[in-house]
């Protein structure tokens, strides 16, 4: 195998329906990016990875290394290469950092292999490789197919994670305000039994999403999961007071995401700043662009 380099990127995402209770989920891409660079060649002794700049490399690299390994295995190529990611997505915050890292690593590997590889692996195939890698290394409970679809395809997606089926994709323009508390909450540590108790009501939220009532769906989802996972719903109530229609706990927390406009964003920024003095507020847009269709 001759040496080659490839590049990829994928976005973070916010939750509309958390799939842990029912394996059916919905999410939207957010313009917070994870970038990956892959280098292949016979000079490498195996597969290795790094996260962040050289001066601040940290984090568990098993996920991105497994992504590289799975793509190379698909083409019966030697398992030799190096993958590096850097990300704007806060780790352990419910903003789909794992899905973004996996997607970016898979896309970068396919990019390194060239147009023939891209012709053989479609966008959903690429997503499924990253989902499999997440399950293999234990960073996800359901495989997070919904989050992965939103991360790579952009827009709002609705999925059946058990069947790995993309049920629907809708493009919606909106600003997003994100409250990121200082604490972290990793999906692998989630109390799944408590989440399954709320399944009948999460199904109601899922039906709302199918009817394109995304703001109603995410708000109902948020209150349900705050209750099941012991998060204070106060950030959601503050958002409703400010006139926001769609707000939710993102993933298994601790971040909250709100779809905002110019008027209620200013009010919500003030309200959330008072609540979480040592947290972080991030404003972005919903990403609606499919990163897999972009010519690299």
Domain ranges across the chain = 4-170, 175-285
* Angle formed by the axes of helices 97-113 and 62-74, nearest 10°: 40
The CATH code of the domain at 175-285 is 3.30.70.890
Give the pair of three-digit tokens for residue 182: 């200082």
Write out pLDDT tens, residues 42-62. Answer: 889 999 999 985 434 456 899
Give the global pTM: 0.94
Instruction: Name the residue with higher pLDDT: 293 or 29.
Output: 29
Look-up of token digits 């398992």: 79
Write out pLDDT tens, residues 166-199. Answer: 999 999 999 999 999 987 666 555 677 888 999 9
Antiparallel, parallel or unpaired: β 81-87 and 47-51: parallel
pLDDT of residue 155: 98
What is the CATH architecture assignment of 4-170? 2-Layer Sandwich (3.30)
Characterize 82-91 residue by residue with b for buried, 16 or more Cβ atoms within 10 angstroms of its Cβ, and e for exposed: bbbbbbbbbe
């Amino acid at each position: 195998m001759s040496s080659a380099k490839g590049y990829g990127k994928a976005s973070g995402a916010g939750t509309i329906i958390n799939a842990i209770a029912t394996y059916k989920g919905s999410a939207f891409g957010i313009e917070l990016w994870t970038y990956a660079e892959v280098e292949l060649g016979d000079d490498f002794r195996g597969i290795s990875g790094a996260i962040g700049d050289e001066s601040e490399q940290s984090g568990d690299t098993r996920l991105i290394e497994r992504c590289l390994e799975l793509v190379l295995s698909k083409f019966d190529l030697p398992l030799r290469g190096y993958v590096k990611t850097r990300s704007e997505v806060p780790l352990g915050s419910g903003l789909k950092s794992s899905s973004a890292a996996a997607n970016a690593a898979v896309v970068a590997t396919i990019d390194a292999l060239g147009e023939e590889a891209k012709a053989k692996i479609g966008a959903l195939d690429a997503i499924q490789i990253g989902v499999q890698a997440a399950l293999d290394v234990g960073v996800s409970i359901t495989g997070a197919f919904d989050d992965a679809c939103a991360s790579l395809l952009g827009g709002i997606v609705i999925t059946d994670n058990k069947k790995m089926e993309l049920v629907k994709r809708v493009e919606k323009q909106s600003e997003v305000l994100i409250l990121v508390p200082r604490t972290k909450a990793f999906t692998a540590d989630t109390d799944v039994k408590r989440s399954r108790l709320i399944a009948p009501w999460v199904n109601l939220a899922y039906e709302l999403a199918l009817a394109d009532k995304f703001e109603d769906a995410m708000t109902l989802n948020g209150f349900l999961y705050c209750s099941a996972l012991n998060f204070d719903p106060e950030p959601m109530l503050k958002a409703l007071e400010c006139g926001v229609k769609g707000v939710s706990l993102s993933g298994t927390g601790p971040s909250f995401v709100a779809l905002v406009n110019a008027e209620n964003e200013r009010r919500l920024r003030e309200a959330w700043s008072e609540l979480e003095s040592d947290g972080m507020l991030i404003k972005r847009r919903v990403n609606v662009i499919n990163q897999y269709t972009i010519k690299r």
